[in-house]
Amino acid sequence: MAIITAAGNMPALVTGVTNATKTADTVSLDDVITGRRQRVETMCQRFFTRTNAMLEISGIRRANMSYCVVQKAGCTMWIRLFKYFEGQNYERGSPMTLTKYQVHYERADLYKRYTIYNGDQFVKRSHRVMTVRHPFTRIWSAFIDKFLLPDFWFSKGTQIVRTVRPKASKKSLQCGNDVTFPEFVKYLLKIGHQRTYVNQDKHWLPASDICDPCAFKPDIIAKHETFITDLEYTVNRIGLGNLINSFKVEDPTKFEIRDEIDYNFHIYDTFKSCLTKRELAERLWNAFILNGYILANQTFPKELQEDKITAASFEELVTDGRAKFTLSHEEKKAIRKRVLSTAFKEIPHSDMNRLRDLYKNDFDLFDYDPFPEFVPT
């Protein structure tokens, strides 16, 4: 079987993915942000055919900020902030008290959506922000978050199986539980730039298909590879810098682990006809290993009993596993790089070239390398 395992929201994986991040240490952040915006403006004037796509715009009116959403590029954090500033969990003093599940499934009335059309002048007058990500790490993260873990098994996994796998098993057709990364890539290439619900999804459409920067005209283009730095810069720019400390958590890895466990156990009942709680826990364990949260020699506890598995008890097991070792930031990056290299090694060269064509506008507009070092040559 082709590799299908890794972890959820992937942070910066390797150096050299984006030319802009290489210069961040030698020039001011203002210059980096200005350079990103000027590059987009130049590309839009000279080369880029506008799609006028702005599929989801949110923001904070009282901070005069609008945000064009690109999924799998830090959008959960941004939506967490927006909901918090609109009142959800505000009394608790930090947006980080909102879980991923609450961000995406609770209090939709506190998530404000806007349009640049239909006479709504707020977006045009506001500080406009979008966040982008290297296309290859973005689709890998989407694959892990939605198909290694069960979130999209029914909505997209079954569709992928029907589309790219001849003679699929009955369970695969019913559950969409065993999509491989090469199959996912073939599906992306087959569907291309379509924006219909059945065939495509904002979690892996090119960012420029979701939010056309030539139409949205962002003042700030943040990058997932420098997410925290860019987030703090943006929050300062919109006058909320005094709240930056409320965004920070003592142990980001612990926060990520807890958030993913909580989210996946919350949605488990939807998928329980296709996997047991023990199988869900093992998939999460695998994801945490491949993201560098647990060492690979920390084997999944085989004695774990189905009827005793809860989100809290499983989190305790993961915490115990983490306590047995310490990985530096650089060691985690090295693990993630190896994971990416292994995953993309499974993709035929012809499909890699077609992927580069599919995401060409993102590479060009946002200054990403279509031949990153984690892709085997």
Q: What is the pLDDT along the chain (377 residues), one digit of tens a residue?
A: 333 433 333 233 232 344 444 444 446 999 999 999 999 999 998 876 666 678 889 988 888 999 999 999 999 999 998 899 888 888 888 889 999 999 999 888 888 888 776 556 888 899 999 999 999 999 999 999 999 999 999 999 999 999 999 999 999 999 999 999 999 999 999 988 876 655 678 999 999 999 999 989 999 999 999 999 999 999 999 888 888 888 887 788 899 999 999 999 999 999 999 999 999 999 999 989 878 888 888 888 887 888 889 999 999 999 988 888 888 888 888 888 999 999 999 999 999 999 999 999 999 999 999 999 999 87
> Please, what's the largest Cα pairwise distance for the chain?
62
H helices of 178-323, in order, are 181-191, 207-210, 213-216, 227-237, 252-266, 268-271, 277-290, 311-322
Q: Which pLDDT score, from 0 to 100, does residue 119 have? A: 52
The answer to whether 343 touches 3, Cβ cutoff 8 Å, is: yes
pTM of the model: 0.89
Measured in residues, the chain has a length of: 377
Q: Which pLDDT score, from 0 to 100, does residue 199 have? A: 62
Q: Which pLDDT score, from 0 to 100, does residue 326 have? A: 80
Q: Which pLDDT score, from 0 to 100, does residue 197 have? A: 52
Burial of 334 (0-12, 13-18, 19+ CB in 10 A): middle
Q: What is the CA radius of gyration of the chain?
A: 20
Question: How many beta carbons lie within 10 A of that of residue 307, not counting itself?
Answer: 6
The answer to whether 105 touches 91, Cβ cutoff 8 Å, is: no
Q: Alpha-carbon torsion 251, 256, 257, 263, what sign? A: positive
Q: Which pLDDT score, from 0 to 100, does residue 33 have? A: 96
Q: Which pLDDT score, from 0 to 100, does residue 112 have? A: 84
The answer to whether 210 touches 70, Cβ cutoff 8 Å, is: yes
Q: Report which of 361, 375, 307 is spatially closest to residue 49, judged by C-alpha positions.
A: 361
Q: Report which of 260, 265, 321 is spatially closest to residue 295, judged by C-alpha positions.
A: 321
